Amino acid sequence: MTPVVTTAQGALRGSTDAQGVAAFLGVPYAAPPFGPRRFRAPAPAEPWTGERDATAYGPTAPKNPYTPPFDALIPETSVPGEDCLNLNVWTPEPGPGARLPVMVWLHGGSFSNGSANSGGYRGETFARDGVVFVGVNYRLGTDGFLHLPGAPDNRGLLDQLAALEWVRDNIAAFGGDPDRVTVFGESAGGMAIGQLLAHARARGLLRRAVLQSGACHHFVRPETARRIGARMADRLGVPHTAEAFAAVPLPELLAAQDALRMELATRPDPAVWGDAALNAMPFEPVADGLRLPGPDLGVDLLVGSNREENRLFMVPTDRFHGITEERARRGATAYGADYDAYRERRPGAAPGALLEAIGTDWFYRIPAVRLAESVPGTHVYEFAWRSPQFDGELGACHALELGFVFDLLDDPDYLPMAGEKAPRDLARTMHAAWVAFAATGDPGWTAYDPAGERTTMVFDADGCRTEADPRAAERELWQDVR
């Protein structure tokens, strides 16, 4: 039987798989952000008459593929078209009345790449386990996050808020409970959630949140945002205004965007890039400072990181073994880290391994800890299973946990990074914890207590286990770092 649901904009005709999971793809939650709507806050989606076909993915936000070697490790999915503010829904029980927990996925990609249409982000495994899953496409790069005079900042975040409002107003028609919405995201998706937690408009739109390898700390201050926008305008040879940027042909804009990212990655001079120099991402949310939520947040949190995040950026590019002691020490100084303390705790480690550990802690682990410390009752995890790829040196790197969270290790998107023999039992365990958290607020272990054991669930080759404050020695080295 062909599933049909009715939303505020009109009826949608989806499809059903052999397991009875219904999918509704390419559903617009806002109007196309082009023409007079370019660089504007998202406008409501236009209604339609009759049944709209929702059996194929919709357009993705404009972007270029990842550059080598990451294009082979993180496959991209791109669908041309202007109606890119759309989402995908998987549900085991289409139709009102079921009131199932809802999970809304915000993909990663450094705010410049990625899409909800990737094969590895299919929501069928969550629907199989009684969850209504929603994957969101939002604006990226220049269109989503570059500061442009005459346009609102953080347009990609505004897209995400519009999607959450669509979920609030429509998800009951798909069998979901609008009062049990969990937003979860990885990397840029997790960082976006960190900003949404502080956004007044997000209040009441989410009950729970999962932040994977990204917390509240990734943003650029207004002055840095102005610098980056002006530098992009110089590259294009146009005035730094929304109107001028809207007139630039899209291929030219994307090429300049990639060149800007490469310039920052190869010459991260703080005098030029301000507080974006260490983050190495020119396209980020704009904020006037760090805003950690407090005990009155009213949102259940699950936060964590991977043990060796930065290996993704160092091993495939052959940087891991090419870093000298002097270069590693300079990098540690830039991060504000005590290089000698890391050296003392890791005797015999190569300089690249030390700089990787420092970067992982600064960029991912410590921000997750800071967030857990600020909101009582937060649950914390660490993903520690090490990939056998690149002769085992890829380790427990950035984005490796995704195939486990989605329980889709057989999907071709995850094979380049995880290999063909990744432990399926661990994927089922980790996926089940995320589902339990969405349903009840309890993933299955004790919450993190900064005054107590700081309980952390570690997902490793042997399964999973709780540890009291793993790597406490490193955490204590970062008392003055955000």
Tokens of 223: 């002055």
Token pair 């900003």: residue: 195
Active-site residue, from 107, 147, 218, 398 = 398
What is the length of the chain? 482
Report how far residue 389's alpha carbon sits from residue 208's, in angstroms, rounded to the nearest whole number.
34
Report how far residue 401's alpha carbon sits from residue 278's, in angstroms, rounded to the nearest whole number.
24
The answer to whether 468 and 454 are in contact (CB under 8 A) is yes
Report how far residue 236's alpha carbon sits from residue 248's, in angstroms, rounded to the nearest whole number.
8
147 given a catalytic annotation: no
Active-site residue, from 112, 187, 374, 387 = 187
Amino acid code (one letter) for 334: A
DSSP letter for each residue of 400-462: TTHHHHTT-TTSTTTHHHH-TT--HHHHHHHHHHHHHHHHHS--SSPPP-TTTT-EEEEEETT
213 given a catalytic annotation: no
Active-site residue, from 76, 186, 284, 309 = 309
Report how far residue 59's alpha carbon sits from residue 50's, in angstroms, rounded to the nearest whole number.
21
Which residues have CB under 8 Å from 361's CB, separation 6+? 337, 474, 475, 478
Of 148, 152, 153, 76, the closest CA to residue 119 belongs to 76
Dihedrals φ, ψ of 383, to 5°?
Answer: -95, 120
Report how far residue 278's alpha carbon sits from residue 276's, in angstroms, rounded to the nearest whole number.
6
Strands (E), 171-308: 176-186, 208-212, 300-306
The answer to whether 235 and 260 are in contact (CB under 8 A) is yes
398 given a catalytic annotation: yes
What positions carry a catalytic annotation? 187, 309, 398
